[in-house]
Structure 1
Amino acid sequence: MDRVGERVRRQIELVEEQTGSMDPKVNFHLIIVQTELERVRFLVRSLLRARLAKIDAHPHHHHLMHPHPLSPSELAYLRSHLSLLSTHFATSFLSSFPEPLRKLDERGGAGGSGSGSTDMVQGPDLDQAVFVRVLEDVGTLRVSGTDVRMELRRGDVWVARWSAVREAVLGGRAELI
């Protein structure tokens, strides 16, 4: 984001420097640059809104992830959001529950450390479709629960289930786009 922001700032400075020109070709070029800058700013705002929506949808899941895939400002937002959510729930209804049932981040069931059998932390849908760019040859991946096989080669762009490409993305051999 910093890199994109810096490039947008440089383009804005360029537009401001050339605004006084009376040359029709330069003015037309400036209109195109300004339109493109607005498009980029819209895309950046949309991306940030989408990331915040994902944090809002599953705050406890993202808080318990180690290492955090969030930027420092997103992590600060997550902590603030969790604090507000916990305070709201505690004053609304959790204070009337018995102490063992008040934890919102308890991992119950198999593999959890909680005393209950219900997992209070909901994560995102792992079978949701994502866009992936392959950075280096991965080979053939099989999509679990189907007969679908994907040959992931460097430079390919795929729409695939997150569960199928997760290891390649986490291993740095592919990236989400």
Structure 2
Amino acid sequence: MNIDNDVIPGLFADPTQLPKESDLQELLRLWQNERHAPEILPSNGELLSRVLDQIRRQSDDANALRRDANLSEEEHYMTMLVQTEVERVKFIIRSYIRTRLFKIEQFARHMTNDPEIQARLSQAELTHARRYTALVEKQFTTSVLGHLPDTQRGLDDDVPTLPNMVTEPDKDRPVFIHARQACGPVQLPDGSGFEIANDSIHLMRYHTIEQLLARGEVELV
């Protein structure tokens, strides 16, 4: 059997091409940005679906090859490489989903109060955020708020001298960025403008580069 020609189309001889490079690079950037951003970023369900479909096909193809009694040692080795790459991509997807789930539960009430943030979530994520918020509020009411005067039972109280009861992302947090293209100028805390050169790396506060990240001009590292 010729592993390059006789297998089901889509099984790459080079395991680094699994799934197709453009989708894999986009997934890696999506994962990396999500891990380093203090807030939740827009989901990309279409990309995840494509990658999951691709690795599912690759797993099926590799398993079919391993059952072939005429499989050579070299072909067996290549199928093992493909399966290893499949597991690596699965790890990235699981880590990406866990990161988003952590943020959803950390900022659930803030998200459910902000339509702009809700638009970044998948339907399943939004449903989870609403259910999680309801459970937390029920627990707070039962254990604490229900025993306070009516005027002090709200979770949305904004008292200048006290911390906000609704946890929000810290957009003042510094993040490392890598410029994918020349961009700027961005306004620095002292009011001056700063041009970001292509392929340069900088440490800046998140709110300073938030829009550049949204446009894909920079990535977090």
Determine if the TM-score, normalized by the shorter chain, exceeds 0.5: yes
Shift of 1:29: 0.7
| Amino acid paired to 1:123 | E
Structure 1 counterpart of 2:35:
none
Query: Runs of 4+ in structure 1 displaced over 6 angstroms?
Result: none
One-letter amino acid of the counterpart of residue 184, structure 2: G
| One of 154, 164, 171 as aligned partner of 2:208 | 164
1:174 aligns with 2:217: yes
TM-score by length of 1: 0.78
CA distance in 1, matches of 2:51, 2:176: 20
Of residues 73, 86, 91, the one that matches 2:124 is 73
Unaligned stretches of 5+ residues in structure 1: 111-116
CA RMSD of aligned residues (A): 3.0
Distance 1:137 1:72 in 2: 35
User: How far apart, in 2, do the equivalents of 1:44 and 1:140 lie?
Assistant: 34
2:67 to 5, 20, 23: 20
Q: Are the structure 2 counterparts of residues 176 and 88 from structure 1 closer, same or farther at C-alpha, using a change threshold of 3 Å?
A: farther
Q: What do residues 93-144 of structure 1 show as CA deviations (whole Å, max 9, x unaligned)?
A: 111112222222x15258xxxxxx8643221111224465656653222432
Which shows bigger deviation, 121-130 or 157-166? 157-166
- Name the SS of the counterpart of 1:141 in structure 2: strand
Q: 1:15 to 1:151 in 2, by over 3 A?
A: same
- C-alpha distance 175-4 of structure 1, shift in aligned 2 (>3 A): farther
Go from structure 1 to structure 2 and tell me whether the alpha carbon gap of 1:64 and 1:17 turns closer, same or farther (over 3 Å shift).
same
TM-score normalised to the size of structure 2? 0.64
Provide structure 2 residue ranges, at least 5 long, that are not aligned to the other structure.
1-47
Q: Does 1:84 align with 2:135?
A: yes
